[in-house]
Every structure is written in C-alpha cells, then in structure tokens.
Amino acid sequence: MTKTVNGIKINYVQKGEGDLIVLLHGWGSNIKLFANLIDLLSKKYKVVAMDMPGFGESAEPPSAWCVDDYVEFVIDFLKDYNADKVMLLGHSFGGRVIIKMNSRENLPFKITKVILVDSAGILPPKSNKKSFRTYYYKAGKAILSTGLAQKIAPDALENFRKKMGSADYAAASPLMRQVLVKVVNEDLEPLLPNIKCPALLVWGVNDTATPLSDGEKMEKLIPDAGLVKLENAGHYSFLDQQYTFNRVMSSFMKLD
C-alpha cells in the first residue's frame, strides 16, 4: 500500500483489527523484515508498519532530517487513524524515534506500550583510536574536496568515504548520509526516563551495533522496563531467534 504524507510517497502495510500498534524499522532496513511479526501481532491488533522516508520503497525526505523530523513524520502519518492510544515497537533506528516521541508534549495520542528491540540512542564512549580516525577522516575529506583533487582524481573522495565510513554510510545516498550523521550524533540517554508506560526491551546478547550494555542502561533509566536477553542473537535478534522472540512478544502483548 502507498500513500502520500507531507508530499512524500510512503510504502506501508496495515493488517488486523483492534488497538493500534506501529512498527518502526531500523536504519537501512524496511518493513519486509517485519513480515512474521506483523502476522503475529495482527491476530489481536491493528498493525501498521511503514518504510520511513529514505528507506525501502518510500521516497527520501526533502532535506537532511534529524530524529525530531522523523518523529513529526510518524505523528503526521498516524493522523488518518484518529487513534487516542498507540503502542510502539522500534528496532534500532526506529527505537530512536520512539524514545524521542515519548518526550514530546501534547501528543495527539497516548503511548500505552513501548517495545525497543536492539535499540539505538545511546552514544558509545569515544576511544583515542576512534578520535584519531575521526580526525583523519575529516582531514582527508577536506583535502580530497578541493578543486584540484577533484580534477586529478574525481573518484578519490567517494572511495575514501567508502573506506573510512561505516557500511551504513557507504550504502546510503548523499542525502541519507547527511541524515545518518545527524542521527548517530544525538545522545538520547537523558530522555529515557520520559518513557512512562510499560516498556519491553529485547536484545541480542551478541549485538555489536547496539551492544547489550545499551539495553541494560536503558532498563535502569526507563521507570517501568524489563529487559529480555536473547542468546545466540545479534543486532537483528527478532530474526536470529524468531521463535523465542515471538514467545516473548506473545506474553507481553497478551496474545496467548
């Protein structure tokens, strides 16, 4: 299904009837990875999942958005549903949007449950090695951006970015790279106590993108949170341990 929200063409899925639960995917991901979860939750709830702007089959945002812009987008997307209560599930980047949304005043709906799966939002500590890498990257980028360098080696800057940047950065379009830089540099840790509703945190023990220590920190800072650790699972714990994840979801969402 598609619809246009604020001039942006959005690909989305809607399935089931009942109270509304909204699924927000991770960076570089899309709603296809939620197929099993949508089937599970739609047995009791109205499930809505969208490819957020710049991902999947949805169009890119008109400019380099920050997390607040994505929060505003999700709120606008949900206006058609006229829901007074909403449950939210976010994986990785989707978790950032949910954390930020819970700090918004005067939301048009009440958030009644939050599920954060291998969520992003906590800044990793900066090591000396990482600080040097950042300095080296900025210096190299400045040199290779000059007119002379562009004439001599027009592909050098792009190749340098791919070598120095993360896989997410290398795979993103020029606009979405700007979005990624804005998003990953925002520390949402101070906002976690603003999540007042019951919160389920699910983490892959072997997650290297958003390590388990992030989940443990979130559990301490969110007033009504419980953390479930999935063994032999990484950043996509809901896929790596699908059966166990579904059982956890069924219990928290009272599907049994």
pLDDT tens-digit series, residues 103-116: 999 999 999 999 99
Q: Which of 232, 201, 29, 186 is nearest to 119 (CA)?
A: 201
Task: Identify the bridge partners of residue 46 per DSSP, sorted by sequence position.
Answer: 20
φ/ψ of residue 128, rounded to 5: -60, -35
| Range list for CATH 3.40.50.1820 in the chain | 2-123+186-252
Which residue pairs, CB below 8 angstroms and at least 24 apart, start in 224-228?
224/196, 224/197, 224/198, 224/199, 225/195, 225/198, 225/199, 225/200, 225/201, 226/199, 226/200, 226/201, 227/201, 227/202, 227/203, 228/200, 228/201, 228/202, 228/203
pLDDT tens-digit series, residues 227-246: 999 999 999 999 999 999 99
pLDDT at 45: 98
Contacts of 124 (CB under 8 A, 6+ apart): none
More confident residue, 239 or 152: 239
In contact, 69 and 94? CB cutoff 8 Å? no
CB atoms within 10 A of CB 174: 10
More confident residue, 146 or 175: 175
In contact, 111 and 101? CB cutoff 8 Å? yes
H runs (alpha helix) in 90-173: 93-101, 128-144, 147-152, 156-164, 167-171
pLDDT at 106: 93
Q: Which residue type occupies 208?
A: T
pLDDT at 256: 80
Mean pLDDT within 83-89: 97
Mean pLDDT within 142-169: 56
Mean pLDDT within 150-171: 59
More confident residue, 210 or 152: 210
pTM of the full structure: 0.85
pLDDT at 171: 82
CATH of 2-123+186-252, one of 3.20.20.140, 3.40.50.1700, 3.90.700.10, 3.40.50.1820: 3.40.50.1820
pLDDT at 151: 60
